[in-house]
Amino acid sequence: MANPILYIATGSAPLSSQFQETLDMLLTGAAFGQPTILWLTEASLSQLQRAPSNGLAQLPDFGVRCVTDSLAPVTPVPVETLDSQSLLRLRDQCAQVVVF
């Protein structure tokens, strides 16, 4: 199994072109079997509550694992809450990290 790619959403507006393009890239890789993880930071979760992204609802269908470092509010996808040490280990295990 290939090492996963970790995408870190730092809080860019969910409706921005950068967010949507990165989400498309993430979904494309996952569709072709690339193990993919999306780390939704507290800032990005806050943005998503204000302006939800329909693209996120597709993530479970493609096998994308979503994680967060804060108490997960209601989100359009299942989010796994990890402590800071677990997130650092996860980041170190990934073949590539993309921050957007």
Q: Are strands 5-9 and 65-68 parallel, antiparallel or unpaired?
A: unpaired
Give the pLDDT score at 74.
66
Tokens of 77: 């996808």
Cα distance between the two ends of the chain: 25
Q: What is the pTM of this model?
A: 0.86
Compute mean pLDDT per 10 residues along the chain, 100 residues long, and list them.
Answer: 85 72 89 93 79 75 89 73 92 92
Tell me how far the alpha carbon of residue 97 is from its chain's centroid.
Answer: 11
Give the pLDDT score at 12.
63
Give the pLDDT score at 73.
63
What's the Cα-to-Cα distance from 78 to each of 2, 13, 16, 23, 72, rounded to whole Å?
23, 20, 22, 16, 9
